[in-house]
Structure 1
Amino acid sequence: MSLPPNVHVSTHPCLLGKLSQLRSKSTNVKEVKTLVHEISLLLGCEALAAKTTAVPGPTDSTPLGYEYTTSTLTPETISLVPILRSGLGMVEAIQTLLPTPVPVHHLGLFREPTTLEPVEYYNNLPNHHGSASSLAIILDPVIATGGTCAAAIQTLREWGAQKVLVLSVVGAEVGVRRAAEEWPEGVEIWLAGVDKELTNSGMLKPGLGDVGDRLFLTIGK
């Protein structure tokens, strides 16, 4: 399939194997949590290798007393923005990858059942001067219609983020296109897989089901 140039779909064989396990209806809630975490680790490694750079930092000493030059990351200010609820399942993996702690700002968005358009119900982005991060990383396992992702991108752009990196386990082709076109020069999207179809209710086909329900055992609520 032909996707916009700011969309990257991984071909890592281990990641693709884990994605096929995550799709299965027989995968239990503990396994779902583990797979989302592991897929996020692999995907995050690829995306952060492309979007961050190691630069020389201050001098330090080893336990044997030898001096060495430390490494730090650029951009200097990074924040994680999980989309509630399912984005929470990706946070720990990206925190593990980053060498130093970074802020975690939460966005709550849901799709209105009739229009399938996003409605924001929670936003804890700081609003004081200079609070915006150079790189804001959206964490959301599924991009379906793309409305929620596009709304999150627009919110972060208005907040003042200089660049936005979207990490997602799987997305629908139409939704990924919509999100990628929201801010082409400022956004890059990294996914483990892309599905070509959506159901009438806006679910991916074959998809993963409702990842939030699967993570938090609220299926049939």
Structure 2
Amino acid sequence: MSSLPQNVHVSTHPCLQAKLSQLRSASTSSRETKQLVNDIATIIGCEALAKGLSVTETGTDVSPLGYEFTTYTTSPSSICVVPILRSGLSMVEAVQSLLPAPAPVHHLGLYREPSTLQPVEYYNNLHTPITPSPSNPHPDAHPIPSLALLLDPLIATGSTVCAAIDSLRDWGVARVISIHVLASREGLAKAVEAWPEGVEFWIGGIEEGVDERGMLRPGVGDVGDRLFGAVGK
């Protein structure tokens, strides 16, 4: 792992490694797959946000016994969660539960074209920022978040996450924390070059390669199909 770029962090949490073994098993049911992805996303999310956020003092409050205490929140305050459809949806609840306040969720729909393995965008609800005008010189409705939490269980060829990062960068976010259950070494090497100074990758584990279909080896199969019990594109 020492040869990995500085913006890549791979978890060594023992519980996560054990849950990865369970997730890899063909005998794991759809319901169990959902729970395992949620659990793994929680562990990785804790590690990512511990490094990616800072704490800010907000004032004081009073405890039930009447004692005054200092209150805190996290910084930056402008955060959004961006799952890549379909399978990224399985990580949203885990990450949202870690944040002290709900963050808006924006969706990116991407799938790999089977013959070329290149990403195809079919849905994007990143909102269009409001442009200042004479009648509204300082618009503040729906500002661009300063931090995006990008969620997708797997990085295989790397093309999909690169496309998502390009969309977020074009949108105007200042920084991205990209959270994944598993990544191939070659796909991750491609992804880290998309925006080296703007993206930090947090990964549960690294697989050595992908097969001719662009699937991780040994991997977890098509995680979207396993999560939802329906064959995707």
Q: Distance in 2 between the 1:61 and 1:108 partners?
A: 45
Q: Is the 8 A contact 2:8 2:202 kept in 1?
A: yes
Which one has the largest radius of gyration? Answer: 2
Q: Which amino acid aligns with 1:85?
A: R
* Alpha-carbon spacing, 1:62–1:220, altered in 2? closer, same or farther (3 Å): closer
**Residue of structure 2 equivalent to 1:14:** 15
Residue 65 of structure 1 and its aligned partner are, at CA, apart by: 2.4
**Residue of structure 1 equivalent to 2:34:** 33
Aligned pair count reads: 221
**Residue of structure 2 equivalent to 1:150:** 162
Q: Is the 8 A contact 2:117 2:214 kept in 1?
A: yes
**Residue of structure 2 equivalent to 1:111:** 112
**Residue of structure 1 equivalent to 2:224:** 212
Structure 1 residues 44-73: Cα deviation after superposition (integer angstroms, max 9, x where no partner): 000000100111012222222222221111
What are structure 1's unaligned runs of at least 5 residues?
none
Q: Is residue 190 from structure 1 mapped to residue 202 from structure 2 by the alignment?
A: yes
Q: Is the 8 A contact 2:224 2:232 kept in 1?
A: no
Structure 1 residues 155-212: Cα deviation after superposition (integer angstroms, max 9, x where no partner): 0011011000100000111111111110000001011100011101100000110111
| Correspondent of 1:161 among 173, 188, 191 | 173
Q: Is the 8 A contact 2:82 2:107 kept in 1?
A: yes
TM-score, structure 2 normalization: 0.92
Residue 3 of structure 1 and its aligned partner are, at CA, apart by: 1.9
Residue 220 of structure 1 and its aligned partner are, at CA, apart by: 8.9
1:3 aligned counterpart, secondary structure: coil
Q: Which amino acid aligns with 2:36?
A: L
TM-score, structure 1 normalization: 0.97
Residue 78 of structure 1 and its aligned partner are, at CA, apart by: 0.7
Of 43-52 and 66-75, more deviation after overlay is shown by 66-75
Q: Which amino acid aligns with 1:143?
A: I
Q: Distance in 2 between the 1:120 and 1:165 partners?
A: 21
Residue 4 of structure 1 and its aligned partner are, at CA, apart by: 1.5
Of all paired residues, the percent bearing the same amino acid is 58
* Alpha-carbon spacing, 1:151–1:70, altered in 2? closer, same or farther (3 Å): same
Q: Distance in 1 between the 2:144 and 2:90 partners?
A: 23
Q: Is the 8 A contact 2:87 2:223 kept in 1?
A: yes
List, as ranges, runs of 4+ consecutive aligned residues in structure 1 with deviation greater than 3 Å. Answer: none
Structure 1 residues 22-51: Cα deviation after superposition (integer angstroms, max 9, x where no partner): 000000011100000000000000000010
Q: Distance in 1 between the 2:201 and 2:123 partners?
A: 23
Q: Which amino acid aligns with 1:138?
A: L
Q: Is the 8 A contact 2:30 2:228 kept in 1?
A: yes
2:66 aligned counterpart, secondary structure: coil
Q: Distance in 2 between the 1:193 and 1:119 partners?
A: 26
Q: Is residue 180 from structure 1 mapped to residue 189 from structure 2 by the alignment?
A: no
